Amino acid sequence: MMLKDKVAVIYGAGGAIGGAVARAFALEGANLFLTGRSLGPVEAVAQDIVSAGGSADAAEVDALDEQAVDNHLQFVTDKAGRVDISFNAIGLPNPKTRVPLIELDVERFSLPIATYTRSYFLTARLAARRMVANRSGVIMTITATISRTGTPMVGGGGPAMAAVEALTRDLSAELAPQGIRVVGLRPQGIPETARIKGSFELYAKASGLTWEQFHESLASRTHTRRLSTLAEMANVAVFMASDKASGMTGTVVNLSMGSLDD
């Protein structure tokens, strides 16, 4: 087991990515502390894991609320003795409409930048304060290919994802000397998730294509001629969280199947 007895906290664990990562971590023996803004979906993931023989606790934590994150990490360290892995997978709801930058108001532009940077900063900083004592830990971020590719109609999403990747590198530069690795994953859109299904539908409609045609046009840009799956993303997350990845920090794994050059 690659994560046997590792204590892992996941933010946004009721979502598609957070839930898939939680299940994959559990299969590898991690002791999970799952959190989300709404308790119901997080509890459902935790119950699945416990029913399958794993260990998972569910809690309602707003990952933008400093006190709530700090209190929860204190609960985790009191109960499990330490925090080994912090994985933030929160996601803002998809906008209902796509607006060109020239028509976008500043509040809507700024929202993803302020939200993602605040949440990633808070969860990383508060976990790192606990990890430093053990000179060990892994902090993980998740971004998207819009961090690196000019993409129309994503508003502040591209700058937000680029900022999280910069934060991943800067945290690593400060924390790696103290034994803490900071690594990111940059998946392409995974069509089995509700988020991507919804945004493909909007893009497809705007381009006069069906969902299938739009999906196919994205898949055709990859080397594999298909988009990746949640399971493939979660397997990489397991490896990056494990001690097998001890040689990797300050980097973001490109999961674009070749559609985005390094």
Ligand X SMILES: NC(=O)c1ccc[n+]([C@@H]2O[C@H](COP(=O)([O-])OP(=O)(O)OC[C@H]3O[C@@H](n4cnc5c(N)ncnc54)[C@H](OP(=O)(O)O)[C@@H]3O)[C@@H](O)[C@H]2O)c1
> How big is the site for ligand X, counted in residues (CB under 6 A)?
27
**Which range in 48-56, 103-111, 124-132, 184-192 contacts ligand X by CB under 6 A?**
184-192
The helix (run of H) or strand (run of E) holding residue 2 is none
Phi, psi at residue 11, to the nearest 5°?
Answer: -100, 140
Assigned token pair, 114: 């302020």
When asked if residue 112 is in the footprint of ligand X (CB under 6 A), the reply is no
CA 10 from centre of chain: 9
When asked if residue 37 is in the footprint of ligand X (CB under 6 A), the reply is yes
**Which range in 25-33, 49-57, 129-137, 188-196 contacts ligand X by CB under 6 A?**
188-196
The helix (run of H) or strand (run of E) holding residue 57 is strand 55-60
**Residue 199 vs residues 58, 195, 196, 202: alpha-carbon distances, Å:** 29, 6, 5, 5
Radius of gyration from C-alpha coordinates of the chain: 18
**Which range in 56-64, 99-107, 131-139, 213-221 contacts ligand X by CB under 6 A?**
56-64
Q: Which of 9, 10, 15, 184 binds ligand X (CB under 6 A)?
A: 15
Please, which residue, 81 or 258, has the CB nearer to ligand X? 258
Q: Which of 2, 17, 30, 182 binds ligand X (CB under 6 A)?
A: 17
When asked if residue 198 is in the footprint of ligand X (CB under 6 A), the reply is no
**Is 147:192 a contact under the CB 8 Å cutoff?**
no
Distance CA 87, CA 138 (A): 8
When asked if residue 36 is in the footprint of ligand X (CB under 6 A), the reply is yes
Per CB under 6 A, residues contacting ligand X are: 11-12, 14-18, 36-38, 41, 62-64, 89-91, 119, 142, 144, 187, 189-190, 193-196
